[in-house]
Homo-oligomer: A and B are copies of this chain.
Amino acid sequence: MRSEGILIVVSGFSGAGKGTLMKRLVEKYDNYALSISATTRTPRQGEEEGREYFFLSREQFEKRIADRALIEYAEYCGNYYGTPRDYVEKELSCGRDVILEIEIQGALKIKEQYPEAVLLFVTTPSAGELRRRLSGRGTETAEVIEKRLGRAVKEAEGIERYDYIVINDDLETCVEELHGIITAAHHTPGRNGEFIQTMRRELEGDQIEN
């Protein structure tokens, strides 16, 4: 009962572990395709073209905007970030569930264009735990941590706009929850129109024959 692919948008607090979750989900189940964003920022050490991002010049990026080749884009700190349309639509049409990791403004833009998209919000079990994880990385300054917590306050305002909320306490449990939610979404009547029509035709045929 897997027909069309589902577009899955994942947002959540910075530090909630979205990246690790998505990586594990894609590793564990083969029905997922992870969307790769395009960006104009310069690659960081170890980042590879087409793996972390598609790295574009500002000119190339603006051409994509003009061509409507991005389903959403935004500008942060002077750099563009966006979602290439071709990859998403190709994978969906092959019946794969496409995952986008994106913040709330982008998520809502996606929902406008793809009303059947499933929006997931990932959170830590508590605010204290979020702070611990942000501090625990040891790579961020106190200032950056405060900035992220400040952004979390903003992000928390939008939680009700999401279809589902998942708590990332234990990684494997959370991966199973995400997979369960997406599997359930495949069972809506809207995503099984063909099966329902066939069933109706057959039942009516059965009636006429007998």
A residues neighboring B (CB under 8 Å): 1, 121, 123, 126-128, 130-131, 146, 149-150, 152-153, 156-157, 159-160, 162-167, 177, 180-181, 183-185, 187-190, 192, 195-196, 198-200, 202-207, 210
Bound CA span A166–B184, Å: 10
Closest chain B residue, CB of each to CB of A189: B160
A123: chain B residues at CB < 8 Å are: 199
CB–CB B165/A131 < 8 A: no
CB within 8 Å for A210 and B126 given contacts A164-B188, A187-B177: no
CB within 8 Å for A153 and B207 given contacts A162-B189, A167-B1, A177-B187: yes
Bound CA span A150–B130, Å: 57
Bound CA span A175–B150, Å: 43
Total identical chains: 2
Enumerate 15 A-B pairs (CB-CB under 8 Å) in ascending A order. A1-B167, A121-B189, A127-B206, A128-B206, A131-B206, A149-B203, A150-B207, A153-B204, A159-B196, A160-B189, A160-B196, A164-B184, A164-B188, A167-B195, A181-B187
Closest chain B residue, CB of each to CB of A145: B210
Query: A142: shortest Cβ distance to chain B, in Å?
Result: 9
Query: A135: shortest Cβ distance to chain B, in Å?
Result: 11
Closest chain B residue, CB of each to CB of A156: B200
CB–CB B128/A202 < 8 A: yes
CB–CB A159/B189 < 8 A: yes
A126: chain B residues at CB < 8 Å are: 198-199, 202
CB–CB A187/B207 < 8 A: no
Closest chain B residue, CB of each to CB of A149: B206
